[in-house]
Homo-oligomer: A and B are copies of this chain.
Protein backbone atom coordinates (compact mmCIF):
# COMPACT_ATOMS: atom_id res chain seq x y z
CA UNK A 1 0.00 0.00 0.00
CA UNK A 2 1.55 3.37 -0.99
CA UNK A 3 2.03 6.05 1.67
CA UNK A 4 1.85 9.85 1.61
CA UNK A 5 5.67 9.81 1.64
CA UNK A 6 5.84 7.88 -1.62
CA UNK A 7 3.33 10.16 -3.31
CA UNK A 8 5.31 13.20 -2.14
CA UNK A 9 8.58 11.68 -3.44
CA UNK A 10 7.04 10.72 -6.78
CA UNK A 11 5.64 14.23 -7.33
CA UNK A 12 8.69 15.94 -5.85
CA UNK A 13 6.59 17.94 -3.39
CA UNK A 14 6.42 18.00 0.43
CA UNK A 15 4.20 15.68 2.48
CA UNK A 16 2.34 18.82 3.62
CA UNK A 17 1.38 19.58 0.03
CA UNK A 18 0.03 16.06 -0.51
CA UNK A 19 -1.88 16.30 2.74
CA UNK A 20 -3.35 19.66 1.66
CA UNK A 21 -4.63 18.12 -1.56
CA UNK A 22 -6.11 15.14 0.32
CA UNK A 23 -7.92 17.53 2.67
CA UNK A 24 -9.04 19.95 -0.06
CA UNK A 25 -6.93 22.76 1.38
CA UNK A 26 -6.89 25.82 -0.93
CA UNK A 27 -3.18 26.89 -1.05
CA UNK A 28 -1.97 24.45 -3.72
CA UNK A 29 -1.54 25.42 -7.39
CA UNK A 30 -3.85 23.74 -9.87
CA UNK A 31 -0.86 22.21 -11.64
CA UNK A 32 0.52 20.58 -8.48
CA UNK A 33 -2.94 19.51 -7.38
CA UNK A 34 -3.62 17.73 -10.69
CA UNK A 35 -0.23 16.01 -10.60
CA UNK A 36 -0.76 14.80 -7.03
CA UNK A 37 -4.33 13.60 -7.73
CA UNK A 38 -3.00 11.69 -10.74
CA UNK A 39 -0.36 10.00 -8.58
CA UNK A 40 -2.94 9.17 -5.88
CA UNK A 41 -5.12 7.62 -8.51
CA UNK A 42 -2.34 5.66 -10.23
CA UNK A 43 -0.86 4.33 -7.01
CA UNK A 44 -4.34 3.47 -5.70
CA UNK A 45 -3.56 5.36 -2.49
CA UNK A 46 -6.22 5.04 0.23
CA UNK A 47 -6.37 7.22 3.31
CA UNK A 48 -6.25 5.01 6.41
CA UNK A 49 -9.25 6.06 8.47
CA UNK A 50 -7.76 4.53 11.60
CA UNK A 51 -5.18 7.31 11.42
CA UNK A 52 -7.81 9.94 10.67
CA UNK A 53 -10.02 8.74 13.53
CA UNK A 54 -7.04 8.77 15.87
CA UNK A 55 -6.23 12.37 14.93
CA UNK A 56 -9.82 13.54 15.27
CA UNK A 57 -10.51 11.38 18.36
CA UNK A 58 -13.76 10.32 16.65
CA UNK A 59 -14.91 6.95 15.38
CA UNK A 60 -17.98 8.00 13.31
CA UNK A 61 -19.67 5.08 15.01
CA UNK A 62 -22.79 4.88 17.18
CA UNK A 63 -23.69 1.89 19.34
CA UNK A 64 -27.30 0.77 19.72
CA UNK A 65 -28.31 -1.67 22.45
CA UNK A 66 -31.29 -3.98 22.14
CA UNK A 67 -32.25 -6.91 24.38
CA UNK A 68 -32.43 -9.30 21.42
CA UNK A 69 -31.96 -8.63 17.71
CA UNK A 70 -34.44 -11.11 16.34
CA UNK A 71 -37.51 -9.67 18.00
CA UNK A 72 -39.46 -7.89 15.20
CA UNK A 73 -39.80 -4.68 17.24
CA UNK A 74 -36.06 -4.38 17.74
CA UNK A 75 -35.27 -5.53 14.21
CA UNK A 76 -37.31 -2.57 12.97
CA UNK A 77 -35.69 -0.22 15.48
CA UNK A 78 -32.28 -1.33 14.18
CA UNK A 79 -33.49 -0.71 10.65
CA UNK A 80 -34.59 2.84 11.48
CA UNK A 81 -31.35 3.63 13.32
CA UNK A 82 -29.07 2.09 10.67
CA UNK A 83 -30.78 3.78 7.78
CA UNK A 84 -30.62 7.24 9.32
CA UNK A 85 -27.06 6.79 10.58
CA UNK A 86 -25.74 5.65 7.20
CA UNK A 87 -27.30 8.68 5.54
CA UNK A 88 -25.42 10.85 8.04
CA UNK A 89 -22.18 8.95 7.43
CA UNK A 90 -22.18 7.15 10.77
CA UNK A 91 -21.76 3.43 11.27
CA UNK A 92 -23.86 1.50 13.77
CA UNK A 93 -22.70 -1.23 16.11
CA UNK A 94 -25.65 -3.28 17.28
CA UNK A 95 -25.17 -4.66 20.75
CA UNK A 96 -27.43 -7.33 22.23
CA UNK A 97 -27.72 -7.26 26.02
CA UNK A 98 -29.76 -10.50 26.27
CA UNK A 99 -31.42 -8.71 29.24
CA UNK A 100 -28.13 -8.98 31.14
CA UNK A 101 -26.70 -6.24 33.39
CA UNK A 102 -23.04 -7.15 32.90
CA UNK A 103 -23.36 -7.19 29.09
CA UNK A 104 -24.82 -3.69 29.21
CA UNK A 105 -21.83 -2.48 31.23
CA UNK A 106 -19.51 -3.98 28.58
CA UNK A 107 -21.32 -1.87 26.00
CA UNK A 108 -20.72 1.25 28.08
CA UNK A 109 -17.01 0.42 28.15
CA UNK A 110 -17.01 0.97 24.36
CA UNK A 111 -17.78 4.63 25.05
CA UNK A 112 -15.14 4.83 27.77
CA UNK A 113 -12.52 3.36 25.43
CA UNK A 114 -13.53 5.65 22.54
CA UNK A 115 -14.60 2.76 20.35
CA UNK A 116 -17.89 4.56 19.68
CA UNK A 117 -18.85 8.26 19.73
CA UNK A 118 -22.22 7.81 21.42
CA UNK A 119 -24.70 5.20 22.63
CA UNK A 120 -28.43 4.79 22.04
CA UNK A 121 -29.84 2.51 24.73
CA UNK A 122 -32.84 0.67 23.28
CA UNK A 123 -33.12 -1.29 26.51
CA UNK A 124 -32.09 -0.60 30.10
CA UNK A 125 -30.79 -3.39 32.30
CA UNK A 126 -28.93 -1.55 35.09
CA UNK A 127 -29.91 1.04 37.65
CA UNK A 128 -29.29 4.56 36.39
CA UNK A 129 -26.49 5.24 38.88
CA UNK A 130 -24.55 2.40 37.25
CA UNK A 131 -24.90 4.07 33.84
CA UNK A 132 -24.62 7.80 34.55
CA UNK A 133 -20.86 7.72 35.39
CA UNK A 134 -20.23 6.83 31.71
CA UNK A 135 -21.79 10.12 30.56
CA UNK A 136 -18.45 11.82 31.12
CA UNK A 137 -17.01 9.77 28.23
CA UNK A 138 -19.67 10.70 25.67
CA UNK A 139 -23.40 11.09 25.01
CA UNK A 140 -25.95 8.40 25.87
CA UNK A 141 -29.64 8.53 25.20
CA UNK A 142 -32.61 6.33 25.90
CA UNK A 143 -34.88 5.18 23.10
CA UNK A 144 -38.02 3.15 23.83
CA UNK A 145 -37.13 3.01 27.52
CA UNK A 146 -37.68 5.43 30.39
CA UNK A 147 -36.02 6.42 33.62
CA UNK A 148 -37.52 8.80 36.14
CA UNK A 149 -34.27 10.56 37.02
CA UNK A 150 -31.99 10.17 33.97
CA UNK A 151 -30.76 13.62 32.92
CA UNK A 152 -30.59 12.78 29.23
CA UNK A 153 -32.81 12.77 26.18
CA UNK A 154 -35.45 10.05 26.24
CA UNK A 155 -37.19 9.25 22.97
CA UNK A 156 -40.27 7.07 23.16
CA UNK A 157 -44.03 7.19 23.08
CA UNK A 158 -46.63 7.56 25.79
CA UNK A 159 -46.76 4.05 27.24
CA UNK A 160 -49.45 5.00 29.76
CA UNK A 161 -51.66 6.49 27.05
CA UNK A 162 -51.13 3.54 24.66
CA UNK A 163 -52.14 0.98 27.29
CA UNK A 164 -55.05 3.13 28.45
CA UNK A 165 -56.32 3.38 24.86
CA UNK A 166 -56.08 -0.38 24.33
CA UNK A 167 -57.83 -1.29 27.57
CA UNK A 168 -60.62 1.26 27.02
CA UNK A 169 -61.19 -0.34 23.60
CA UNK A 170 -61.70 -3.72 25.32
CA UNK A 171 -64.05 -2.14 27.87
CA UNK A 172 -66.06 -0.53 25.06
CA UNK A 173 -66.40 -3.97 23.48
CA UNK A 174 -68.22 -5.01 26.66
CA UNK A 175 -65.41 -6.69 28.61
CA UNK A 176 -65.36 -6.38 32.40
CA UNK A 177 -62.64 -8.89 33.24
CA UNK A 178 -59.42 -7.84 31.54
CA UNK A 179 -55.99 -9.40 31.93
CA UNK A 180 -52.58 -7.78 31.37
CA UNK A 181 -49.17 -9.05 30.22
CA UNK A 182 -45.79 -7.35 30.61
CA UNK A 183 -42.18 -8.34 30.03
CA UNK A 184 -39.68 -7.26 32.71
CA UNK A 185 -40.86 -5.80 36.02
CA UNK A 186 -37.82 -3.48 36.32
CA UNK A 187 -38.69 -1.60 33.11
CA UNK A 188 -40.24 1.81 33.86
CA UNK A 189 -41.87 1.77 30.42
CA UNK A 190 -43.65 -1.45 31.37
CA UNK A 191 -44.68 0.06 34.71
CA UNK A 192 -46.20 3.03 32.91
CA UNK A 193 -48.21 0.67 30.73
CA UNK A 194 -49.46 -1.12 33.82
CA UNK A 195 -50.54 2.22 35.29
CA UNK A 196 -52.46 2.93 32.06
CA UNK A 197 -54.19 -0.45 32.37
CA UNK A 198 -55.12 0.12 36.01
CA UNK A 199 -56.30 3.69 35.37
CA UNK A 200 -58.61 2.57 32.54
CA UNK A 201 -60.16 -0.07 34.80
CA UNK A 202 -60.55 2.48 37.58
CA UNK A 203 -62.17 5.07 35.30
CA UNK A 204 -64.81 2.50 34.33
CA UNK A 205 -65.26 1.13 37.87
CA UNK A 206 -63.77 -2.24 36.99
CA UNK A 207 -61.45 -4.36 39.09
CA UNK A 208 -58.46 -6.47 38.31
CA UNK A 209 -57.24 -9.66 39.96
CA UNK A 210 -53.53 -10.29 40.51
CA UNK A 211 -53.88 -13.71 38.85
CA UNK A 212 -54.87 -11.91 35.62
CA UNK A 213 -51.48 -10.20 35.41
CA UNK A 214 -48.65 -12.14 33.74
CA UNK A 215 -44.95 -11.18 33.67
CA UNK A 216 -41.97 -12.37 31.59
CA UNK A 217 -44.02 -12.35 28.39
CA UNK A 218 -41.69 -11.88 25.40
CA UNK A 219 -42.57 -14.14 22.47
CA UNK A 220 -44.88 -16.63 20.76
CA UNK A 221 -43.92 -19.47 23.09
CA UNK A 222 -44.73 -17.30 26.11
CA UNK A 223 -48.13 -16.72 24.50
CA UNK A 224 -48.64 -20.49 24.20
CA UNK A 225 -47.85 -20.90 27.90
CA UNK A 226 -49.95 -18.02 29.18
CA UNK A 227 -53.03 -19.26 27.34
CA UNK A 228 -52.92 -22.45 29.39
CA UNK A 229 -52.54 -20.45 32.60
CA UNK A 230 -55.65 -18.45 31.63
CA UNK A 231 -57.58 -21.58 30.67
CA UNK A 232 -56.88 -23.17 34.04
CA UNK A 233 -58.14 -20.18 36.06
CA UNK A 234 -61.43 -20.61 37.90
CA UNK A 235 -62.37 -16.99 37.27
CA UNK A 236 -61.01 -16.23 33.80
CA UNK A 237 -60.56 -12.83 32.15
CA UNK A 238 -62.65 -12.49 28.95
CA UNK A 239 -60.08 -10.21 27.31
CA UNK A 240 -56.33 -9.69 27.55
CA UNK A 241 -53.99 -6.79 26.85
CA UNK A 242 -50.80 -8.61 25.81
CA UNK A 243 -48.35 -5.72 25.28
CA UNK A 244 -46.76 -7.67 22.41
CA UNK A 245 -48.02 -8.95 19.02
CA UNK A 246 -45.96 -12.14 19.30
CA UNK A 247 -47.52 -12.98 22.66
CA UNK A 248 -50.96 -12.15 21.22
CA UNK A 249 -50.36 -14.48 18.24
CA UNK A 250 -49.27 -17.29 20.59
CA UNK A 251 -52.35 -16.89 22.82
CA UNK A 252 -54.72 -16.82 19.83
CA UNK A 253 -53.15 -19.91 18.26
CA UNK A 254 -53.46 -21.96 21.45
CA UNK A 255 -56.95 -20.62 22.18
CA UNK A 256 -58.23 -21.81 18.81
CA UNK A 257 -56.45 -25.15 19.15
CA UNK A 258 -58.28 -25.61 22.45
CA UNK A 259 -61.73 -24.88 21.03
CA UNK A 260 -62.00 -21.25 22.21
CA UNK A 261 -63.54 -18.68 19.91
CA UNK A 262 -61.61 -15.44 19.51
CA UNK A 263 -62.84 -12.81 20.30
CA UNK A 264 -66.10 -14.31 21.72
CA UNK A 265 -64.49 -16.47 24.45
CA UNK A 266 -61.28 -14.49 24.73
CA UNK A 267 -60.57 -11.12 23.10
CA UNK A 268 -56.88 -10.38 22.51
CA UNK A 269 -55.10 -7.10 21.81
CA UNK A 270 -51.46 -6.94 20.67
CA UNK A 271 -48.88 -4.15 20.70
CA UNK A 272 -46.49 -2.82 17.99
CA UNK A 273 -48.56 -3.53 14.84
CA UNK A 274 -46.16 -6.07 13.38
CA UNK A 275 -47.01 -7.82 10.09
CA UNK A 276 -47.83 -10.98 12.04
CA UNK A 277 -51.10 -9.27 13.07
CA UNK A 278 -52.31 -9.53 9.49
CA UNK A 279 -51.62 -13.23 8.90
CA UNK A 280 -52.91 -14.76 12.11
CA UNK A 281 -56.58 -15.86 12.06
CA UNK A 282 -58.37 -13.91 13.42
CA UNK A 283 -56.26 -10.84 12.57
CA UNK A 284 -54.96 -9.01 15.63
CA UNK A 285 -56.14 -5.67 17.00
CA UNK A 286 -53.06 -3.79 18.17
CA UNK A 287 -51.37 -0.48 19.03
CA UNK A 288 -49.31 1.03 16.22
CA UNK A 289 -45.90 2.40 17.28
CA UNK A 290 -43.82 4.57 14.90
CA UNK A 291 -40.74 2.37 15.35
CA UNK A 292 -38.75 3.51 12.32
CA UNK A 293 -39.29 7.15 13.31
CA UNK A 294 -38.18 6.39 16.89
CA UNK A 295 -34.87 5.12 15.50
CA UNK A 296 -34.43 8.06 13.15
CA UNK A 297 -35.04 10.65 15.85
CA UNK A 298 -32.65 8.91 18.21
CA UNK A 299 -29.88 9.10 15.59
CA UNK A 300 -30.47 12.79 14.82
CA UNK A 301 -30.35 13.58 18.54
CA UNK A 302 -27.21 11.59 19.33
CA UNK A 303 -25.37 13.16 16.38
CA UNK A 304 -26.34 16.59 17.71
CA UNK A 305 -24.72 15.65 21.02
CA UNK A 306 -21.64 14.11 19.38
CA UNK A 307 -21.14 17.27 17.33
CA UNK A 308 -21.24 19.22 20.58
CA UNK A 309 -24.07 21.45 19.36
CA UNK A 310 -26.27 20.68 22.35
CA UNK A 311 -25.46 19.89 25.94
CA UNK A 312 -27.03 16.87 27.58
CA UNK A 313 -30.09 17.50 29.70
CA UNK A 314 -33.39 15.86 30.53
CA UNK A 315 -35.61 16.03 27.49
CA UNK A 316 -38.52 13.69 26.90
CA UNK A 317 -39.79 13.24 23.34
CA UNK A 318 -42.98 11.22 22.95
CA UNK A 319 -44.14 10.13 19.50
CA UNK A 320 -47.85 9.43 18.89
CA UNK A 321 -49.37 5.91 18.89
CA UNK A 322 -52.72 4.73 17.51
CA UNK A 323 -55.21 1.90 17.88
CA UNK A 324 -55.59 -0.49 14.91
CA UNK A 325 -58.84 -2.44 15.24
CA UNK A 326 -58.97 -5.92 13.64
CA UNK A 327 -60.82 -9.20 14.25
CA UNK A 328 -59.31 -10.36 17.56
CA UNK A 329 -61.43 -7.92 19.61
Which residues of A line the B interface, CB within 8 A? 46-51, 53-54, 57, 59-61, 68-72, 75-76, 78-79, 82-83, 86, 91-96, 110, 112-115, 137, 219-221, 246, 249-250, 252-253, 256, 275-276, 278-281
8 Å CB contact of A53 from B50, B96, B137, B275: B50
How long is the Cα–Cα vector from A276 to B276 in the complex, in angstroms? Answer: 7
A252 CA to B250 CA, complexed, in Å: 18
Q: Among B59, B70, B275, B279, which residue has its beta carbon within 8 angstroms of that of A79?
A: B70
A46 nearest CB across to chain B (Å): 5
| B70 adjacent to A72 (CB under 8 Å) | yes
CB-based contact A68/B79 at 8 Å:
yes
Given the complex, which residues of B lie within 8 Å of A114, measured CB to CB? 48-50
Can you offer 11 A-B residue contacts whose CB atoms are under 8 A? Answer: A46-B137, A50-B115, A68-B79, A71-B75, A82-B95, A86-B96, A91-B93, A92-B93, A220-B275, A252-B279, A281-B281
B57 touches A50 (CB 8 A): yes
Given the interface pairs A47-B113, A51-B54, A94-B92, the reply to whether A279 lies near B278 with Cβ below 8 Å is: no
With most chain B CB atoms within 10 A of its CB, the pick from A57, A59, A221 is A59
Bound together, the chains give a CA A5 to CA B75 distance in angstroms of 45
B contact residues around A46 at 8 Å (CB): 112-113, 137
Q: Is A275 within 8 A of B219, CB to CB?
A: yes
Distance in Å from the Cβ of A229 to the closest Cβ of chain B?
A: 18
Within the assembled complex, what's the spacing in Å between the Cα atoms of A130 and B253?
48
CB-CB under 8 A for A83 and B110, given A75-B75, A276-B279, A281-B281: no
* Chain B residue contacts of A78, Cβ below 8 A: 69-70, 78, 94
- Chain B residues with Cβ under 8 A from A275's Cβ? 219-221, 246
Residues in chain B near residue A276, CB distance under 8 A: 276, 279
Task: State the CA gap A170–B200 with chains docked (Å).
Answer: 51
In the bound assembly, the distance between CA atoms of A76 and B71 in angstroms comes to 9
Q: Please, how many angstroms separate the alpha-carbon atoms of A10 and B90 in the complex?
A: 38
Enumerate chain B residues within 8 angstroms of A110, measured Cβ to Cβ: 91
Q: Which residues of B contact A281 (CB under 8 A)?
A: 253, 256, 280-281
CB proximity of A283 to chain B, nearest CB, Å = 8
Bound complex: CA of A68 vs CA of B93, how far in Å? 16
A94→B82 contact, CB < 8 A: yes
| Neighbouring B residues of A50 by C-beta, 8 Å | 50, 53-54, 57, 59, 114-115
Task: Verify A49–B115 contact, CB threshold 8 A.
Answer: yes
Complex: A278 Cα to B252 Cα, angstroms:
11
When C-beta atoms are compared, the residue in chain B nearest to A48 turns out to be B114
> Chain B residues with Cβ under 8 A from A79's Cβ?
68-70, 96
- What's the Cα separation between A177 and B137 when bound, in Å? 64
One of B51, B53, B96, B253 near A82 (C-beta < 8 A):
B96
Closest to A52 in B: B113
Given A50-B53, A93-B91, A114-B48, verify A70-B59 contact (CB < 8 Å).
no
